[in-house]
Structure 1
Amino acid sequence: MSANSIAARAMTQLGTPFRMRGRTPGIALDCIGLALAALGPLAKTNLPCPNYAMRGDYRSIVCSYFAELPFRALAEGEAACDGDILLASPAPSQLHLLVRANGGWVHAHAGLGRIVFTPEWPNWPILHRWRFTGD
């Protein structure tokens, strides 16, 4: 397990259809499903999958989830690396997870209806960032 394998697993999901609460890699994913697919064996723990609605503040649930995994919170100003996972706010009361890969961002795009790669940061406020620290 490595940060590069997290990024690579995220890239394998490009084109997967978007579906709210989708958790099946290659079939249907949302942003949480994408993050879980990227985490691979790390996501297969006894931790409950975060539950959420399209709007609302679920930061504490997501932060608690990553606190139980071998990730550390990144300080402001630390450069992003492949395999990092970010929690951003693309709109008021809307949270979104993205995975850093190939120098860009992989995320579940509801409007386009699929998992996409974005080479540039979409200029959304970043709420939290995590980096894999090891097995």
Structure 2
Amino acid sequence: MTADDILAAARQCLGTPFRHQGRLLGSGLDCAGVAIHVARQIGVGHLDVSGYGRTPASGQLEHSLDSQPCLERVAMVDDRLPGDLLLMRFAGDPQHLAITAGDTLIHAYESVGQCCEHRLSRLWAARIVQVYRFRGIE
């Protein structure tokens, strides 16, 4: 598996409508749904957790990511590479996930109403709390 495989899987999600706890490509995905789709497509395991609220609290999302055997933490946020999974914070606890494609992000974004890819601006980069890498990347 390569970063290109991860990005190809993430880009399959583009245009899918945003739906909280959505897991169906073309019908509805949330930011976790995009990560789950990628994990399934590249064959690394199952990231899915159900029953979460729109604003995770008490480190819920970070704990869930830390417990995934298919992911490993990247020591420094600035060491992110294309294909890495980004944990992001808008306010309070981290509550958003995106796949980095280098200078762009791929994610299901409620404000846009769909899965999209856009530039990783300074504002978006400042939201990154933690970076995770799929194990087994070549």
Range class of TM-score, shorter chain: 0.7 to 0.9
Cα distance between partner residues in 2 of 1:103 and 1:37: 21
Counterpart-to-counterpart distance in 2, 1:98 and 1:53: 18
What is the Cα deviation at residue 95 of structure 1? Answer: 0.6
Deviation at 1:13, TM superposition (A): 1.0
Where does residue 37 of structure 1 map in the other structure? Answer: 37
Shift of 1:81: 1.4
Q: Per-residue CA shift, 1:64-92, capped at 9, x if unaligned?
A: 12xx11x3211115432111001111222
SS in 2 for 1:33: helix
Counterpart of 2:44, as a letter, is: L
**TM-score normalised by length of structure 2:** 0.82
Q: What percent of counterpart residues are identical?
A: 29
Alignment-derived partner of residue 61 in structure 1: 64
RMSD over aligned CA atoms reads 2.0
Distance 1:54 1:107 in 2: 15
Aligned to 1:92: 92
1:1-135 aligned at under 5 Å gives the runs 1-39=1-39, 40=41, 41-43=43-45, 45=46, 49-51=48-50, 52-57=52-57, 58=60, 59-65=62-68, 68-69=69-70, 71-76=71-76, 78-101=78-101, 103-121=103-121, 122-134=124-136
Structure 1 segments of 4 or more deviating over 6 A?
none
**Residue 98 of structure 1 aligns to a residue in which SS?**
strand
